[in-house]
Amino acid sequence: MNQETLNKMRQLRLLGMYDAFKTSLESSSRETLTQDQFISFLINSEWDDRKNRNIDRALKVASFRYKASVEQIDYEIERGLDKNQIHRLAGLEFVKEHKDLFIIGSTGTGKSFLSTALGYQACQKGYRVLYASTSKLMGQLKLAKAKGTILAELKRIERQDLLILDDFGLQPFDAQARTSLLDIIEDRHQKRSTIITSQIPVAEWYEIIGEKTIADAILDRIVHHALRVELFGESLRKKITKKNFKKKLYF
């Protein structure tokens, strides 16, 4: 009978419950639980398994370049990072309120890491997230337009609760990229949240985007009410390299 129950659990895709029930049969833990406790144990196991699988799926879809977490953020290095502000951002109220976030700073100050950490946090809380290098995303949309799938791609981006546009402004926008960016911002304005990281100060984005009418339309929708994190200082990569070099000399 137990094997039949296990087979039915697997056929019903109750994989968390299946593992929990199978483990209980192989140990004496089941004997110490009341009937209500055992049922609760099975349900909670299924709940946790589905939640973890959903998180794994969300992280895969998000396409992060690397793994990062809020707990790994280093506040000891002087770069203008406010721990209280980051903790507030990690609470993801800005995502619930459909606000945008700009993370500005010179190269190597940890912009991508910080945005990725917030993205991981959002995935773990059940939000749909998409991470993208801005220039690569514009290239993908250009290719999608040539294939006739641009509308489907824009719709996919619109559905994301949090969009992370990394390295914004490293390459100037051509006419098609400007149009795609405007479509993305227009679709998400006050309905979804966007994190933008950039080495370029916000005051210079107008020139980066180019074409007055479109630049006005884009910046008017994102600049005035966005939250900001502004970083400064020497590249963390250089600091880590120097630190490791000194360790080698010491040892």
| 141 close to 153: Cβ distance less than 8 angstroms | yes
Set out the domains of the chain in order of their start, with CATH numbers. 2-62 (no CATH), 70-238 (3.40.50.300)
- Separation between Cα atoms, residue 134 and residue 111, nearest integer Å: 14
Strand spans (E) along the chain: 101-104, 129-133, 162-166, 193-198, 227-230
pLDDT tens sequence for the chain (251 residues): 788 989 988 999 998 898 988 888 888 766 778 889 889 999 999 998 888 899 899 999 999 999 999 999 998 888 889 999 999 999 999 999 999 999 999 988 999 999 999 999 999 999 999 999 999 999 999 999 999 999 999 999 999 999 999 999 998 899 999 999 999 999 999 999 999 999 999 999 999 999 899 999 999 999 988 999 999 877 665 555 444 434 444 43
The secondary structure of 162-181, three-state, reads EEEEECCCCCCCCHHHHHHH
Structure tokens at 36: 């209500």
- Separation between Cα atoms, residue 46 and residue 248, nearest integer Å: 49
pTM exceeds cut of 0.95: no
